[in-house]
């Protein structure tokens, strides 16, 4: 059926998928931007906290290095005399845990023990000044940072407790994971000092190296921090994206539906003039000359070929497009037949099928008038075929319309007669001129006596009502002869001619015989 298959088939999955893709696009783009934004935000935070931590550690080192520098001139002097000066520094300076004096590679005096003896190895100190220890004999397993200043044989050492460093590393953002690196040693915010390769943060890794002391601060976040930040900070934005995505998806869906709907397809076909009139002659009783013709709509579909009306007329009726389609069909018929008007007998009947919807306003009158104006006066009789399957609801408008149509000389035929529910009152109300006996009754000829009786009654009724009769669907000579004997005025059917194209019809008009190659 053209209305369901006309969409090029391979595009069907795409049609179903497209609204989802269009809907997902703003969400995906938005998420990408949000992700990028969150990463930048974290990078900024990571760098800022590394910088602040480094500043704080420099401050601590300033404090303890001042102590060492103050004590340096005392190095080499006897310990018993200087140990009070060592303790004085410990007391005065907030971050100093201990102070020591060195002479010729030996730590010989300590603020804690007084005279002491321990070798000092240069290799322990990064750039000769800093040594990050995981612990010493006083506090094993507890981090300690040692600062050393040397001048010739003399040296002074001050230390700071790991707890101060831990506090510095805890200064900022609770989620950031800062590390203090000195030479090959590094310490995390829990105070663990380790040796070896430094772990690199998975997210927003940043590093700040002090310009004044040989240490670096590394910071960053654990895996999943970007997602966490997005979840906590952008839920409103995300909601907006989902709403935008939904709007985009639904809009796309409707747009596609509009473009591929039967209504749009019929509209397209109408604009492309794909609806063509086909013609089936109606013959007169006796000599079987062509007394008229019924115009039957065909759809010359660009891909599906010639489409029969029962496949698309119901859609057109449903959408209301049948009215402009019929108008176009009437114009086309007039254009095609008018130039050959001289080959038509005078009073040639042209039957146009209309539906009840046509009768709701007076435009049908204008269409009929325009149709008749295309032919010389009295050349053609326009007959409107109204199906009995769908009766017209009488109203002021229909009353006016049918009176005006009669004034114009337009005849009314009741199509498919016998299949519907029309009453005598109905026939009178719409001033019906012809009954077209449905082909199902004609098919009864040659059948059982009861069926024939029904057909006879229909014929009798119409002659009593003074109406003309057209028998439809005449296929055999037996049917033709039977209808003849029963005074049926007109016949139509494959026996005489099948519906044919305008070209074939015009060609056959001259000879009054259907061409050998008949169209369906
Ligand atoms: O030709 P056939 O297969 O040709 O027609 C099938 C049905 O379509 C018939 O019931 C006929 O009345 C209807 N039909 C054909 N052409 C038209 C038309 O132009 N308008 C309407 N409303 N019905 C039509
Ligand atoms: O408008 P209506 O419903 O009367 O349309 C006539 C329909 O009957 C069209 O579909 C036409 O093609 C079809 N038709 C016309 N003559 C014959 C015939 O002799 N036999 C059959 N089976 N159908 C016919
Ligand atoms: Mn008809």
Q: For residue 489, give the 3-state DSSP assignment.
A: coil
> 450 CA distance to ligand 1 centroid (A)?
30
Sequence-distant (6+) residues with CB within 8 A of 241 are 26, 27, 30, 31
Ligand 1 atom, smallest distance to 352 CA: 19
Ligand 1 atom closest to 297 (CA): 16
Phi, psi angle pair for 284, to nearest 5°: -85, 150
438 touches ligand 2 (CB under 6 Å): no
pLDDT at 449: 78
Q: What is the mean pLDDT of residues 390-413?
A: 92
Residue pLDDT, tens place only, 306-315:
999 998 999 9
CA atoms within 13 A on the CB side of 358: 23
Instruction: Tell me the torsion sign for CA atoms 240, 246, 249, 253.
Output: negative
Both tokens of residue 312?
A: 């698309």
pLDDT above 70 for 390: yes
Residue 125 in contact with residue 102, Cβ under 8 Å?
Answer: no
Calculate helix-pair angle for 322-337, 502-511, nearest 10 degrees: 40
Angle at 195 between CA 170 and CA 184, to 5 degrees: 90
Does residue 1 have a pLDDT over 50? no
Is the pLDDT reported for residue 395 higher than 70? yes
Q: What pLDDT sits at residue 7?
A: 42
Q: Mean pLDDT across the stretch 392-398? A: 90
Instruction: Quick: pLDDT tens for 330-384.
Output: 999 999 999 999 999 899 999 999 998 888 889 999 999 999 999 999 999 999 9
Over range 187-204, report the average pLDDT.
Answer: 91
CA of 155 to the centre of ligand 1 (A): 114
Name which of 364, 374, 461 is nearest 410 in CA terms.
364
Atom of ligand 1 nearest to the CA of 354: 22
pLDDT confidence of residue 424: 80
Q: What average pLDDT does the chain have? A: 90
Question: By the 8 A CB rule, do 293 and 333 touch?
Answer: no
Predicted local distance difference test score (pLDDT) of residue 426 = 84
pLDDT at 170 over 50: yes
Compute the average pLDDT of residues 200-221: 94
Q: How far is it, in rounded angstroms, from Cα 432 to Cα 412?
A: 5
| pLDDT per residue as tens digits for the range 421-466 | 888 888 888 889 999 999 998 998 887 777 788 888 888 988 888 8
Indicate which atom in ligand 2 lies nearest the CA of residue 475. Answer: 19
Q: How far is the CA of 259 from the centre of ligand 1 (A)?
A: 26
Given ligand 2 and candidates 307, 309, 473, which is best to mutate, with the most ligand atoms within 8 Å of its CB? 473
> Using a 6 Å cutoff on CB, does residue 351 contact ligand 2?
no
Of residues 319, 284, 282, 315, the one with CA closest to residue 299: 315
CA of 332 to the centre of ligand 3 (A): 18
Atom number in ligand 1 closest to CA 317:
22
CATH topology of domain 61-164: Beta-Lactamase (3.30.450)
Phi, psi of 350 (to 5 degrees): -115, 115
CA-CA distance, 78 to 461, in Å (whole number)? 147
Domain 273-510 indexed as CATH 3.20.20.70: no
Query: Contacts from 140-148 at CB under 8 Å and sequence distance 24+?
Result: 142/191, 143/187, 143/191, 143/192, 143/193, 144/97, 145/64, 145/182, 147/61, 147/64, 147/65, 147/68, 148/68, 148/102, 148/120
Residue identifier of the C-alpha nearest atom 12 of ligand 1: 353
* 472 Cβ below 6 A of ligand 2: yes
Nearest CA to ligand 1 atom 22: 354
Residue nearest to atom 3 of ligand 2 (CA): 416
Sequence-ordered list of residues with C-beta below 8 angstroms from that of 504, at least 6 positions apart, any chain: 514, 515, 517, 518, 519
Report the pLDDT averaged over residues 208-224: 95
DSSP three-state, residue 116? strand
N- to C-terminal Cα separation, the chain? 17
Residue 519 predicted with pLDDT over 70: no
Check residue 20 and report its DSSP letter: H
Question: Which residues, other chains included, contact 176 with Cβ-Cβ below 8 Å and sequence gap of 6+?
Answer: 45, 46, 49, 219, 220, 221
Separation of 294 CA from ligand 3 center, angstroms?
7
Whether residue 211 is predicted with pLDDT greater than 50 in this model: the reply is yes
- The alpha carbon dihedral of 223, 228, 234, 240 has a sign of positive
pLDDT tens for each residue of 275-305: 999 999 999 998 899 999 999 999 999 888 8
What is the predicted pLDDT for the residue at 6? 45
Q: What is the pLDDT of residue 10?
A: 44
pLDDT band at residue 200 under the 50/70/90 scheme: confident
Q: How far is the CA of 498 from the centre of ligand 3 (A)?
A: 13
pLDDT tens per residue across span 6-53: 444 446 677 788 889 999 998 999 999 999 999 999 999 999 999 999
pTM (global) more than 0.75? no
Ligand 3 centre and the CA of 415: distance in Å?
Answer: 5
Is the pLDDT at 516 greater than 90? The verdict is no
In this structure, the residue with its CA closest to atom 10 of ligand 1 is 310
Tell me the β-bridge partners of 484: none
The distance from CA 426 to its chain's CA centroid, rounded to whole angstroms, is 51
How many CB atoms within 10 Å of residue 170?
14
Provide the pLDDT confidence category of residue 269 given band limits of 50, 70 and 90. very high
Of all residues in the chain, the percent with pLDDT exceeding 90 is 67
Q: Which pLDDT score, from 0 to 100, does residue 2 have?
A: 57
Q: Compute, in angstroms, the gap from residue 500 CA to the centroid of ligand 3.
A: 15
Ligand 1 pocket mutation pick from 277, 280, 296, 499 by most atoms within 8 angstroms of CB: 296
The mean per-residue pLDDT over the stretch 96-100 comes to 96
Q: What mean pLDDT comes out for the span 151-164?
A: 96
How far apart, in whole angstroms, are the C-alpha atoms of residue 53 and residue 39? 21
Least confident of 4-18, 52-66, 219-233: 4-18
Could you state, in order of their start, the residue ranges of all structural domains in the chain? Answer: 61-164, 273-510
């Amino acid at each position: 059926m053209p209305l369901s298959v006309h969409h090029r088939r391979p595009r069907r999955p795409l049609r179903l998928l497209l609204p989802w893709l269009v809907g997902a696009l703003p969400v995906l783009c938005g998420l990408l931007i949000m992700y990028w934004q969150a990463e930048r935000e974290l990078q900024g935070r990571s760098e800022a906290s590394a910088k602040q931590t480094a500043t704080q550690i420099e401050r601590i080192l300033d404090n303890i290095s001042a102590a060492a520098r103050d004590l340096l001139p005392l190095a080499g002097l006897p310990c018993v005399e200087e140990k009070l000066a060592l303790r004085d520094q410990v007391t005065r300076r907030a971050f100093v845990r201990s102070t020591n004096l060195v002479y010729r590679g030996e730590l010989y005096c300590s603020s804690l023990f007084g005279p002491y003896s321990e070798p000092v190895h240069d290799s322990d100190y990064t750039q000769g000044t800093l040594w990050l220890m995981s612990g010493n004999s006083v506090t094993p397993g507890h981090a300690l940072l040692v600062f050393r200043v040397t001048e010739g044989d003399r040296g002074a050492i001050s230390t700071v407790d790991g707890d101060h460093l831990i506090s510095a590393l805890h200064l900022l953002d609770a989620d950031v994971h800062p590390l203090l690196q000195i030479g090959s040693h590094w310490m995390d915010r829990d105070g663990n000092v380790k040796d070896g390769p430094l772990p690199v943060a998975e997210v927003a890794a940043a590093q700040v190296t002090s310009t004044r002391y040989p240490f670096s601060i590394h910071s960053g976040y654990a895996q999943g921090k970007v997602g966490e930040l997005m979840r906590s900070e952008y839920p409103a934005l995300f909601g907006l994206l989902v709403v935008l995505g939904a709007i985009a998806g639904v809009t796309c869906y409707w747009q596609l539906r509009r473009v591929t709907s039967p209504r749009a397809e019929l509209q397209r076909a109408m604009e492309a003039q794909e609806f063509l009139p086909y013609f089936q002659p109606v013959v007169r009783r006796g000599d079987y000359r062509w007394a008229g013709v019924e115009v039957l709509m065909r759809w010359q579909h660009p891909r599906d070929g010639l489409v029969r009306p029962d496949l698309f007329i119901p859609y057109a009726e449903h959408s209301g497009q049948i009215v402009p389609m019929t108008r176009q069909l009437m114009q086309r018929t007039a254009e095609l037949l008018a130039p050959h008007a001289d080959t038509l007998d005078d009073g040639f009947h042209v039957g146009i099928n209309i539906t009840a919807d046509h009768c709701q306003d007076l435009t049908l009158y204008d269409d009929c008038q325009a149709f008749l104006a295309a032919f010389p006066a009295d050349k053609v009789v326009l007959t409107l075929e109204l199906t009995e399957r769908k009766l017209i609801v009488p109203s002021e408008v229909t009353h006016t319309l049918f009176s005006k149509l009669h004034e114009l000389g337009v005849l009314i035929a009741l199509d498919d007669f016998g299949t519907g529910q029309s009453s005598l009152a109905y026939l009178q109300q719409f001033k019906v001129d012809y009954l077209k006996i449905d082909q199902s009754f004609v098919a009864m000829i040659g059948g059982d006596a009861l069926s024939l009786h029904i057909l006879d009654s229909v014929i009798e009724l119409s002659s009593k009502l003074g109406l003309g009769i057209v028998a439809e669907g005449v296929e055999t000579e037996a049917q033709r002869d039977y209808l003849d004997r029963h005074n049926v005025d007109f016949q139509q059917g494959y026996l005489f001619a099948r519906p044919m194209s305008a070209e074939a019809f015009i060609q056959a008009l001259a000879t009054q015989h259907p061409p050998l190659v008949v169209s369906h």
